[in-house]
Amino acid sequence: MSLIIKNSPGIKPSEITPESDYYNRRQFIKQSAAVLGAAWAGRIAMPVQAAQTGDFPTAIKSQYSTREPANSFEDITSYNNFYEFGTSKTDPARNGTGFQTDPWKVSIEGEVARTGVFDLDELIKPYQLEERIYRLRCVEGWSMVIPWTGFSLAEMIKQFQPTSRAKYVEFTTLYDPERMPGQKRRVLHWPYTEGLRMDEAMNPLTLMAVGLYGKTMPNQNGAPLRLVVPWKYGFKSIKSIVKIRFTETQPVCTWNKTAPKEYGFYSNVNPSVDHPRWSQKTERRIGRPFWEPKIPTQLFNGYGEQVASLYTGMDLTKYF
């Protein structure tokens, strides 16, 4: 069941609960009791963790957050897909440890008035950071709930003033096999690239993330800058971005290029369109006990209210 808080454009910053309240001790105790009572002690996250570190003191809570309990920091940072650091789930945490992400530059290219190469700090400075708790559904059939810190991609795109020819946005991950040893193996077409249609990129749910659980983004989760598109399978949420290019034609995406029959350009979460090798009807929530039944997967990962209109009239079995 979707527990997304409805978009209410009139919401004033003063109506948003301050972070200090969100993480206060009383709430922590209440939440912990509820969560622990729900079973699986120690595996489900306690949101208080974010306040204790607080790398982003100016971040505000987002109206788009789900109220489902977040996965633990441990789960989120130890079970990863990041092929640049290896193909097993534990490789990115192990092999990404020494990955240097400062300094980091991002190149803005293509169909925009303002192109250029920007220091990450300079690039993200103008935007209001938010904590957004999103479901992430992996195409492999598992899911997590992750409290990201980031800002709206739409706000950033507006700053660069796209031309009328900008129909798509292409994102590229760093290519540096010395720093990302997984790139020495030809398991994917490197560098990893992903793309969105312009209206998908401009949707208020689309997030550029720089942290999670109130901490600077861990390397294994895509430091220092990654995309998060919560209604699409996780592989669209490209990590460690160094280039954002605005294009007139549909970008080539790594997974689509690697296995076009299995991974389409759109990659919207859709329980009615099976992967050719497995069903997409249900998902296993990481961190839940193995005896619990799998969760039914929702169309657009439960974010249909905000995004279904982007696909009106499209045959989603053809444009998967």
CB-nearer residue toward ligand MTE: 138 or 156: 138
Cα torsion angle, 45, 48, 50, 52, sign = negative
Least distance from ligand MTE to the Cβ atom of residue 219, Å: 11
Does residue number 246 form part of the binding site for ligand MTE (CB under 6 A)?
Answer: no
Closest CA to 132 of 243, 56, 245: 56
- Does the footprint of ligand MTE cover residue 81 (CB under 6 A)? yes
The residue with its CB nearest to ligand MTE is 234
Does residue 219 bind ligand MTE (CB under 6 A)? no
For the CA atoms of 184, 90, 258, 107, what is the dihedral angle to 10 degrees? -70
Binds ligand MTE by CB under 6 A, chosen from 23, 73, 82, 266: 82
Q: How far is the CB of 138 from ligand MTE (least distance, A)?
A: 4
Rounded to a whole number of angstroms, the minimum distance from the CB of residue 203 to ligand MTE is: 18
Question: Given the complex with ligand MTE, which of 129 and 253 has the nearer CB atom?
Answer: 253
Residue 152 Cα distances to 66, 132, 143, 210, 309, angstroms = 17, 10, 22, 11, 19
Q: Which is nearer to ligand MTE, 44 or 111 (CB)?
A: 44
Interface segment toward ligand MTE; rule CB under 6 A; list 1-9, 78-86, 274-282, 301-309: 78-86
**Interacting residue with ligand MTE among 106, 108, 124, 138 (CB under 6 A):** 138
Contacts for 26 with CB less than 8 Å, ≥ 6 apart: none
- Rule CB under 6 A: is residue 73 a binding residue for ligand MTE? no
Residue type, 78: S
Binding to ligand MTE by residue 143, rule CB under 6 A?
A: no
How far apart are alpha carbons 72 and 47 in whole angstroms? 9
Q: Which residue in 156, 238, 244, 269 binds ligand MTE (CB under 6 A)?
A: 238
Contact 170, 227 (CB under 8 A): no
Which among 228, 302, 313 has a CA at the least distance from the CA of 6? Answer: 302
Q: Is 235 in the site for ligand MTE (CB under 6 A)?
A: yes
- Those residues with Cβ within 8 angstroms of residue 96's Cβ, 6 or more apart along the chain or in another chain: 82, 85, 218, 219, 220
**Neighbouring C-beta atoms of residue 152, cutoff 10 Å:** 21
Window contacting ligand MTE (CB under 6 A); options: 3-11, 54-62, 230-238, 277-285 = 230-238
Task: Determine if 104 is a binding residue for ligand MTE (CB under 6 A).
Answer: no
Count of C-beta atoms within a 10 Å radius of residue 13: 8
**Pick from 65, 95, 173, 301: which binds ligand MTE (CB under 6 A)?**
173
Q: How many residues bind ligand MTE (CB under 6 A)?
A: 17
Q: Is 196 in the site for ligand MTE (CB under 6 A)?
A: no
Query: What's the CA gap between 86 and 239, in Å, rounded?
Result: 14
For binding to ligand MTE (CB under 6 A), which residues are involved?
80-84, 136, 138, 173, 192, 221-222, 234-235, 237-240
